[in-house]
Structure 1
Amino acid sequence: MTARAEAGAQADASADAPVDGAPRAVSGAGRRFFSRLMPRSLLARNILLLIVLIAVSEACSLIVLLHYVQRPRVERAAAVFGAYITTLDTVLSATPRESRDALVARLDARADVPPDALDQPPTNPLEFYRTHELGIFLDTLHRYLPAGSDVRWEPERARGAPQHMWLRVHIADTPYWIALMLPEEAQGGRLVSALLLALGLGVLAALTGFVIQRHLNRPLQHLADAARRVSEGDAPAPLPLDGPTEIAQVSAAFNQMTQALQHAEATRAVMLAGISHDIRTPLTKLRLAMAMAGAPRDEAFTHASESYLDQIDTILQQFMDYAGSGEREATQAGDLNGLVSQLAADFAGLGHDFELSLADLPPVAFRPISMMRLLMNLMQNAIKYGRSGFAVRTWRDARAVYVAVGDRGSGLTAAELEALKAPFQRGKNAHSGTSGTGLGLAIVERIARLHGGTLQFHPRDGGGLEVWVVLPQ
């Protein structure tokens, strides 16, 4: 019995879960849709918020103006006008019949309403204020007109011309139509001025907010530019501390961070120089001692020791390269194909021929020593792990310049290739005869990022691997 009840409770809970989850899903979808509509920059968001606030404020002001200011004025004008028509109808009804014709001619009265007269005032969405006020005036006027009276609207003869309406009155107890000018309160002329003034003030407020926001965003832009220069290895000038207090505090914190980074960089440079000197000095002395050792001499032991010393020196150089990575080196426009050709010739002198396929490239901005280190590491990796089919090709498109170093080594999976970018990682195709620390591709990837580029791995047509260095133009 208890198990059955627990099963029912679980069924009820599972049945209720979609109902409870639906609002959360809808809410999450709504947030994602709203985030896609929102602009990304702070300037655009603040300007959009300012425009929305001004629009809402103007709409509320317009509603208050129409309902609490203009409506009472129009209703009061309609009441006065209705009372005037009632009085006029009473006076004209008491006119003697012998004077009717003269009075009809004097008032330009007509027995029939003009054929182009309208029962209702014309509507124009672009002039909603006129339609709104005319409608209020008409509704109020009908409540004050005497029995037997009626109203017709005369179409507007010209843009901006005074509007008239035809009213049915009784002259000597005979119905006639006379034309009277529409009161100014019902024509919306003053409201037009108020609307234009409100629109002008709204535009002025939006422009003022835009200027203020641009002024506030300028220090943020300077901060972003300085941070970008720091990431590229430059030492930007200290940011100014004027402006709003909050932005000044951010600028002061950034200046302190930059000084700390510069101090750390100086300390690192001294430490690297010390390590290089203190380790390579005893290594040099050891080489010299082994070379000057007299007989008897174990040639196999001497050869192995020299090999170990070479490996230590190579590992030390890789650590130095990874720690340095050329941030302090100046960027200059150069011939990337020329650098590739020079390195290929150097490797050809060592017995490793690279097939070159070089496209016509424009001058590319790069750090010469760092770029030479990048290409050399890639070409050395191709020799170590590829063993054959060495090739370098270059090409370009509208956005970037490409350098690809390929070989015919055994392929690796995408996950393994991406893992090789991390320090101290070596691929499974690295044979036991190779030496190194696994920093080669980490150095290459770091130098590529230093140039604003990326490092990519692609399978090579016909087998093997290509490593692409993508440099923005």
Structure 2
Amino acid sequence: MKLRLGVPRSLFARNVVLLVVLVTLSQVFALGALLHFVQRPRIERAAATFAASVLLLDRLMNAEPPDARARYDALLGGRTDAPPAIDPTATDLAGFYRTYQQQIFFDWLRDHLPADMRVRLERGGDTRLWVKLHLAGEPYWVPLPLPEHGRGDEIATALALSLALAALATLTAYLIQRRINRPLRTLASAARHVSAGVLPDPLPADGPTEIADVSLAFNRMTRALKDAEDHRALMLASLSHDMRTPLTKLRLAMAMSLPSGTHDDFVEAAESYLDRFESILQQFMDYAGSGEKETLEPLDLNALIEGLAGDFTGLGHPFELSLGTLPPVPLRPVSTMRMLMNLMQNAVLYGRTGLSARTWVEKRHVCIAIGDRGKGLAPEELERLKEPFRRGSNARDNPSGTGLGLAIVDRIARLHGGTFELRPREGGGLEAIVRLPSA
């Protein structure tokens, strides 16, 4: 499997990474400036003082008589042959910086001491500098301890302090960014509630000015949505009452004005038109009031489908059932029943044969498929059927519809965080599939 490294997707992660990179770069440049403009001049001054002492020691030893060798051997531990070069590689960051400073000290001595006064740096458990002096005119290698500035031991403290400051700066940046990000997460959660049809409580308008402005704008938007929803509910209730009342009065007037047994064809036709008008009115009301205010309840979808299939079977439209094991799903009862009714009624009206209902679980979603063996539709028509007032070419034989049934199904599926899809059925016909999250 190929590992893909890219820019983090969340603003929180991006800002944290950016702050860590900036802090790291600032510490790297600060250490570089410390080494080059502060430490290096100090090491070179220490090397100059050390070189002056070495030259003075060389003149004193060169003036000694030859019989003084034993005394100097016991005092300095020198040798006449060249010492072995011991120069292990640094294995950690502190060791690297220490080696770097020792190398500066060594290079300065090598460049400024006389050509016949060679130096050799021995690194190991005890770092020493071997210098080739002259004892009574003869070459004599003397081990001398490095001065404090040449050892570079103090860089470990500077490095530790620098890393501690970088960690503190990174932690502070993380906490600041987390505090800024908290109201954004709250805003995203509130927006998800609004998309699900639930108006959240007003967001707190404290914190930074920019975040407070966004929260205030969101609160104004939710208040406007609530006012619009209240107006819509009032309008729907008034419309339903004002239109159903004259329809009821018209039915009553027809029943009272015509004697029993007269004008049966006229009465039947008039009642048919009234039923159709009331059905169209109900579909408009169903589409306009999509059930956002309904309370979610755990429902047994298989039981709902079995009940509806039994009703359609009693009317002469049997459904072949293939129902899998489903967990209880939190749904709005009335809206869910309306969605299933529309799907099964569409299959009966336009498919007529090969009616079926299937359920199964797929990737933490419960799936419902209502199929038929009708004429089917062209693929380019299927997506358009979910639009309001859009009807397929197979609806010409059934003028009673309004083109809102599948639009209602799509709205209810999205209200529950699910999806609705129409696709050709294998073997002919059409299949409507609804996928709803199981939690």
Equivalent residue for 2:182? 218
Asked if structure 2 preserves the Cα contact closer than 8 Å seen for 1:239 and 1:255, the reply is yes
Q: Does structure 1 residue 139 correspond to structure 2 residue 104?
A: no
2:169 to 205, 213, 237: 205
| Cα distance between partner residues in 2 of 1:173 and 1:108 | 18
Asked if structure 2 preserves the Cα contact closer than 8 Å seen for 1:400 and 1:471, the reply is yes
Equivalent residue for 1:16? none
Map 1:21-420 to 2 at 5 A: 37-115=6-84, 117-118=85-86, 122-124=89-91, 126=93, 127-157=95-125, 162-295=126-259, 297-420=262-385
Cα deviation, residue 205, structure 1: 0.8
Amino acid at match of 1:251: S
| Cα distance between partner residues in 2 of 1:46 and 1:308 | 65
Equivalent residue for 1:10? none
Count, aligned residues: 433
Cα deviation, residue 195, structure 1: 1.2
Amino acid at match of 1:303: E
Asked if structure 1 preserves the Cα contact closer than 8 Å seen for 2:365 and 2:436, the reply is yes
Deviation string 1:278-332 (CA, Å, 9 cap, x unpaired) is 0111111112222223258433332222222111111111111111111000111
Cα deviation, residue 172, structure 1: 0.8
| Cα distance between partner residues in 2 of 1:338 and 1:218 | 42
Asked if structure 2 preserves the Cα contact closer than 8 Å seen for 1:331 and 1:367, the reply is yes
Asked if structure 2 preserves the Cα contact closer than 8 Å seen for 1:239 and 1:251, the reply is yes
| Cα distance between partner residues in 1 of 2:150 and 2:336 | 79
| Cα distance between partner residues in 1 of 2:24 and 2:232 | 57
Asked if structure 2 preserves the Cα contact closer than 8 Å seen for 1:95 and 1:171, the reply is yes
User: Identity of paired residues, percent?
Assistant: 57
Deviation string 1:366-401 (CA, Å, 9 cap, x unpaired) is 111111000000001001110111110100123211
Give ranges in structure 2 of 5+ residues lacking alignment: none
Deviation string 1:62-103 (CA, Å, 9 cap, x unpaired) is 111111011111111111112211111111111112223322
Cα deviation, residue 189, structure 1: 1.5
Deviation string 1:230-280 (CA, Å, 9 cap, x unpaired) is 221212111112211221121111111111111111110000000001011
The range that moved more, 361-370 or 131-140, is 131-140
Pick closer, same or farther for the CA change 1:187–1:103 going to 2, 3 Å: closer
Deviation string 1:29-64 (CA, Å, 9 cap, x unpaired) is xxxxxxx82211111111111111111211110111
| Cα distance between partner residues in 2 of 1:105 and 1:395 | 94
Asked if structure 1 preserves the Cα contact closer than 8 Å seen for 2:379 and 2:424, the reply is no
The range that moved more, 215-224 or 120-129, is 120-129
Deviation string 1:398-426 (CA, Å, 9 cap, x unpaired) is 32110000001112233211001110001
| Cα distance between partner residues in 1 of 2:414 and 2:89 | 68
Cα deviation, residue 146, structure 1: 2.6
Q: Secondary structure, in 3 states, of the residue corresponding to 1:420?
A: helix
| Cα distance between partner residues in 2 of 1:446 and 1:435 | 22
| Cα distance between partner residues in 2 of 1:414 and 1:208 | 56
Q: Secondary structure, in 3 states, of the residue corresponding to 2:358?
A: strand
Q: Secondary structure, in 3 states, of the residue corresponding to 1:168?
A: strand
Deviation string 1:165-218 (CA, Å, 9 cap, x unpaired) is 221111111111111112222222111111111111111111111111111111
| Cα distance between partner residues in 2 of 1:103 and 1:55 | 51
Cα deviation, residue 143, structure 1: 2.1
CA RMSD in angstroms comes to: 1.8
| Cα distance between partner residues in 2 of 1:263 and 1:123 | 72
Equivalent residue for 2:437? 472
Asked if structure 1 preserves the Cα contact closer than 8 Å seen for 2:101 and 2:151, the reply is yes
| Cα distance between partner residues in 2 of 1:78 and 1:452 | 75
| Cα distance between partner residues in 1 of 2:398 and 2:115 | 116
Amino acid at match of 2:112: Y
Asked if structure 1 preserves the Cα contact closer than 8 Å seen for 2:88 and 2:124, the reply is no
| Cα distance between partner residues in 1 of 2:75 and 2:202 | 88
| Cα distance between partner residues in 2 of 1:228 and 1:121 | 62
Give ranges in structure 1 of 5+ residues lacking alignment: 1-35
Q: Secondary structure, in 3 states, of the residue corresponding to 1:356?
A: strand
Q: Secondary structure, in 3 states, of the residue corresponding to 1:56?
A: helix
Asked if structure 1 preserves the Cα contact closer than 8 Å seen for 2:27 and 2:162, the reply is yes
| Cα distance between partner residues in 1 of 2:224 and 2:406 | 29
Asked if structure 2 preserves the Cα contact closer than 8 Å seen for 1:121 and 1:134, the reply is no
Deviation string 1:103-157 (CA, Å, 9 cap, x unpaired) is 2332111111333x24x67455633312321221122111222331112232413
Asked if structure 1 preserves the Cα contact closer than 8 Å seen for 2:361 and 2:367, the reply is yes
Q: Does structure 1 residue 435 correspond to structure 2 residue 383?
A: no
Query: Under a length normalisation based on structure 2, what TM-score does the superposition of the two structures give?
Result: 0.94
Q: Secondary structure, in 3 states, of the residue corresponding to 1:38?
A: coil
Query: Under a length normalisation based on structure 1, what TM-score does the superposition of the two structures give?
Result: 0.88
Deviation string 1:417-463 (CA, Å, 9 cap, x unpaired) is 10011100011111323412101111000000011100012322221
